[in-house]
Amino acid sequence: MKAFAFVIIQLSFAISCISQTVFISGEVKNPGEKKEVTVFYYNNNIEWVLETAEKVSIDSKGNFSMRFSWNKAMHADLLIDDEHTDLFLIPGDSIHITVDYNNFDSTISYSGKGEADNNYLAKELIQNFKNKAKVRSNLTEANTYKNYVDSILKENQKFYNSYDSKGLSNEFKKFIETSIKYRYVDPKYMFSVEYNPTTKKMGKKELPKGYFDFLNAIDLNDEKSLDIVEYVVALDRYGSEKMDFNNDKSIADSLPDAKKAEMKMVKIYYYTKQIFKDKVLDYELTEWLYRIIKRNTNDIKIVDDLIKDYKATCKNQAYISIIDNTYIQINQLTKGSIPPAFSLINEEGKKVSLNDLKGKIVYIDFWSTSCVPCRLEMPDSKKLIEKYKDKEIVFLYINIEDNKESWIKYLEKNKEGTHLYADRELSKKLMHDYAFDGIPHFVLIDRAGKLIDVNAERPSGKADKQIARALGN
C-alpha cells in the first residue's frame, strides 16, 4: 500500500511539472536559411529584457519540437527564421503548428491544446488592424485622424465580437479584450509628435482643444492588466500628457537647466503618487524611476531622496530589486568606467569587437532603418564624419532591432562610418548592457576604451562640442 501511495505521489509530481511547461511542435514548408525556431518573451513590463524560452532547429523534413518551462498565461513571440508572429501561451498547452514559410501570415495554423487562442491571433493579424491605425500620411487634421483610428478600433471590436469564441480560454479573453481596448491609445497619442526642422528635435504639434480627451477613458487602476503591454503603454501616454511640467510657472525660468530638470522630476514623482494607487502605483513609480535612473548616468545622486521615499511606498519587493539593480548598473556606467564588451558583424559578415577600436575615440550611434528620429539624425552625423575625417575617431553605427535586408539596402547608398548589425537577441542585450530603452541612442568612448558618456549628445545637438573635447581640441 505504501508503494502504491509513493507511485501516486510521483505521478502527481510529474503531472504538476508538465502542467508548468508548454510543448510546441510543427511542420514548416519551405523553411528559410537558418532553419531555427525560437520562442521569446519579455521578463517584465519595466525592464523589457527579451528572454529566450527555447530555441531549436528545424530538421531536414521541416519538423521541429520543443518543451520549455512556462508558469503563467501570457503573450509570447514566435520566430521561425526571420518571420515573426504572436503567441498566447498557458501552462500545460500542447500546440502543433503548420506553416508555409513563403506565405507565413496567411498559412500559419495551430492545433492541439491552446489552438483556439492562437488561431484567433493568426486570423486577427491578417486583418492588419494595428498597422492600419498607424497610417496617417493622408490625414493631417487632428480630429479627422482621431476619428479614423476610432473607426479601426470599432472594426477590431466587431471582428472579435463576431468571432466564434468557442474554445477561447478565459485568460485569453481577458488579454485580448484589454489589448483591443487600449492598443489604439498609442497611435492617437503619437499623432501629436512631430519633427521640428528648426530645432532639429521631436516636439509636440499644436492640437485642437480636447484632442487628448481619449486619455480620460483609461482605467488608471486596472491592476489585473499590468502584464498586458497595451495597457501599460496607455498608462505611459497618460502620464506623458498629464504630467508635462515643461511650462510650469512655479519653476523659475532663470534657474539653471539642471535645477529645473530636478524640480520637474520631483513634481512628476509626487503627482504620480496622487493619481495612482496600490499595485498600479507600485508599477508606475518603478517604471518611472527605472527610466530616470538610466537617464541620469552622470549625476545619479539626484534621485537618492526619491528612491528613499519610493522604498517606503512600494510594496512589491521584485520592483524594489529592479531599482536597486539598475542603480548599481548605472554606477558602473559612469565616466571612466569600462563599457560593456560586444562583437558584431559588419556588412561583409566579419566580426568586429569594441576592443578592436581601442586607441581611437568611438562615437556609437544605436539606430534602426525603421526609426524616423534615427534617420533624421543622419545628415548631421555625416557632417561630423566629414569634419573629423582626419582625426582619430570612429563613427560606429550599430543597427539594432531591424530587418537585416533593410540594413543592407540602406548601406548601398550610405557607406559613411563603420556599420555593424545586431540581431534581435544581441539588440536586447546591448540595450540592457548600455541601459537605454529607445533609439537613437549615443555613447562616447575615449582612446583608452573607457566611457566618456553612456548618454552622449546627439549629432543635431551638442555632439560636435563633446567630440571636440574628447579629441582635445
Residue 3's pLDDT is: 57
Residue type, 389: K
Quick one: DSSP state of residue 214? Answer: G
Q: Is it the case that residue 386 has pLDDT exceeding 90? A: yes
Residue 13's pLDDT is: 46
Residue 14 — pLDDT band, cuts 50, 70, 90?
A: very low
Whose CA is closest to 378, among 415, 405, 423, 408?
A: 415
- Answer whether 207's CB lies under 8 Å from 192's CB: yes
Residue 415's pLDDT is: 86
Question: Average of pLDDT values for 303-313?
Answer: 94
Percent of the chain with pLDDT over 70: 93
Tell which wins on pLDDT, 54 or 435. 54
Q: pLDDT averaged over the chain? A: 91
Question: Average of pLDDT values for 454-464?
Answer: 94
Residue 297's pLDDT is: 65
- Answer whether 450's CB lies under 8 Å from 337's CB: yes
Tell which wins on pLDDT, 265 or 324. 324
- List alpha helices for 77-114, DSSP H: 104-107
Percent of the chain with pLDDT over 90: 73
**Looking only at Cα atoms, what is the longest distance across the chain?**
86
**Residue keyed to cell 535645477:** 259
Least confident span in 16-20, 303-307, 345-349: 16-20
Residue 242's pLDDT is: 86
Residue 204's pLDDT is: 80
Distance of alpha carbon 316 from alpha carbon 286, whole angstroms: 9
Q: pLDDT by residue (tens digit) across 149-200?
A: 999 999 999 999 999 888 999 999 999 999 999 999 999 999 998 877 666 6
Tell which wins on pLDDT, 86 or 196. 86
Q: Within a 13 Å sphere around the CA of 119, how many CA atoms are in the beta-carbon half? A: 19
Q: Is it the case that residue 397 has pLDDT exceeding 90? A: yes
Residue 250's pLDDT is: 78
Please give the model's pTM, rounded to 2 decimal places. 0.84
Whose CA is closest to 365, among 348, 347, 384, 350?
A: 384
Q: pLDDT by residue (tens digit) across 250-303?
A: 788 888 877 888 888 889 999 999 999 999 999 999 999 999 998 876 667 778
Distance of alpha carbon 67 from alpha carbon 55, whole angstroms: 10
Question: Average of pLDDT values for 210-238?
Answer: 95
Residue 243's pLDDT is: 84
Q: Within a 13 Å sphere around the CA of 11, how many CA atoms are in the beta-carbon half? A: 6
Question: Average of pLDDT values for 423-439?
Answer: 90
Residue 133's pLDDT is: 84
